[in-house]
């Protein structure tokens, strides 16, 4: 089946540093990648939608200069958390569409747990 | 109003019990409906899609009521391995657009 590989699975960084999270589609082309964030005991909230070769679309309240998304190829999308602060500590997860003909064609990465100290 | 509302629980049930989860969605334009399962610190995994006629997959039965914008999941003969958080998820379009997640209902099945 379709697989999205997400790295790293967890990261601890100091305040003020930047962290890059990668999502790769291993056996399909992901023209669209969704980036979500989940705080403890909360639902997954969409941060942005990235389309290959174009600028990402950010949800209201998400700072595009802080959360940089690059979707330069059909198999790789990256999210960079710049100048991270403790309040950015969260579970970040990507999701790609795998089959336009089916309603359940979503594949999730395994998630990245970010802790900013 | 949130796009998808769920009772967060927790639900604590013994093995073999039947448990039901409910969910409501606010946007009548929603067209696709799912139940996902999320284990602690893991990514969500699709449990089942939900169809208007209702559908069953083994011990799991999902129902959809479009008129009242209500979705349910019934788990029969609960197993210890069913312990997880169950996410109600909707999508507005027939094409694969963004998903809207409920905050999840936590289930613990005890021996």
Contact B103 A104 (CB under 8 A): no
Task: Identify the burial level of B41 via C-beta atoms within 10 angstroms of its C-beta, where 0-12 means exposed, 13-18 middle and 19 or more buried.
Answer: exposed
* Residues of chain B contacting residue A113, judged by C-beta atoms under 8 Å apart: 41
Distance from CA of A100 to the nearest CA of B (A): 6
Residues A73-83, mean pLDDT to the nearest whole number = 94
* B94, B95, B104: residue with CB nearest A43: B104
Contact (Cβ atoms closer than 8 angstroms) between residue A39 and residue A90: yes
Q: Say how far apart CA B9 and CA A87 lie, in whole Å.
A: 26
**Distance of alpha carbon A53 from alpha carbon A61, whole angstroms:** 23
Q: What is the mean pLDDT of residues B76-105?
A: 88
**Is residue A52 exposed (0-12), middle (13-18) or buried (19+ Cβ within 10 Å)?**
middle
Say yes or no for a CB contact (<8 Å) between B41 and A91: yes
Can you tell me the distance from the alpha carbon of A84 to that of A116, in angstroms, rounded to the nearest whole number? 7
Q: Which of B37, B35, B23 is nearest to B65 (CA)?
A: B23
Q: How far is CA A90 from the centre of its chain?
A: 12
How much is the pLDDT for B94?
55
Out of A23-37, A69-83, A88-102, which region has the weakest mean confidence (pLDDT)?
A88-102
Given a contact cutoff of 8 angstroms between Cβ atoms, the answer to whether A43 and B23 are in contact is no
Strand partners, A116: A13
A108 to chain B, closest Cα gap in Å:
7
3-state secondary structure of A64: coil
| CA-closest candidate to residue B37, choices B45, B27, B29 | B45
8 Å CB contact between B70 and B85: no
Q: Categorize the per-residue pLDDT at B41 as very low, low, confident or very high, splitting at 50, 70 and 90.
A: confident
Instruction: Categorize the per-residue pLDDT at B95 as very low, low, confident or very high, splitting at 50, 70 and 90.
Output: low
Of the candidates B93, B88, B109, which has an alpha carbon nearest to the alpha carbon of residue B36? Answer: B88
pLDDT exceeds cutoff 70 at A100: no
Q: Which residues of B touch A91 (CB under 8 A)?
A: 41
The per-residue pLDDT for B30 is 87
Reported as a pLDDT band with limits 50, 70 and 90, residue B86 is: very high
């Amino acid at each position: 089946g379709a697989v999205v590989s997400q790295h790293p699975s967890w990261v601890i960084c100091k305040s003020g540093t930047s962290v890059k999270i990668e999502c790769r589609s291993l056996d399909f082309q992901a023209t669209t990648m969704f980036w979500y964030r989940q705080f403890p005991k909360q639902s997954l909230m969409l941060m942005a939608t990235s389309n290959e070769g174009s600028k990402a679309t950010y949800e209201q309240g998400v700072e595009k200069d802080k959360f940089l998304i690059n979707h330069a190829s059909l198999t790789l999308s990256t999210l960079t958390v710049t100048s991270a602060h403790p309040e950015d500590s969260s579970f970040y997860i990507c999701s790609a569409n795998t089959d336009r003909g089916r309603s359940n064609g979503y594949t999730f990465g395994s998630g990245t747990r970010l802790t900013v100290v | 109003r949130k796009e998808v509302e769920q009772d967060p629980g927790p639900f604590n049930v013994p093995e073999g019990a039947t448990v039901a989860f409910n969910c409501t969605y606010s946007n009548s334009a929603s067209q696709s409906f799912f139940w996902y399962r999320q284990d602690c610190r893991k990514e969500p995994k699709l449990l089942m899609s939900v169809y208007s006629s209702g559908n069953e997959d083994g011990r799991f039965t999902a129902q959809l009521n479009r008129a009242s914008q209500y979705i349910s999941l019934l788990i029969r003969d609960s197993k210890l391995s069913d312990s997880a958080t169950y996410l109600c998820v909707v999508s507005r379009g027939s094409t694969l657009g963004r998903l809207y997640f409920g905050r999840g209902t936590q289930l613990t099945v005890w021996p």
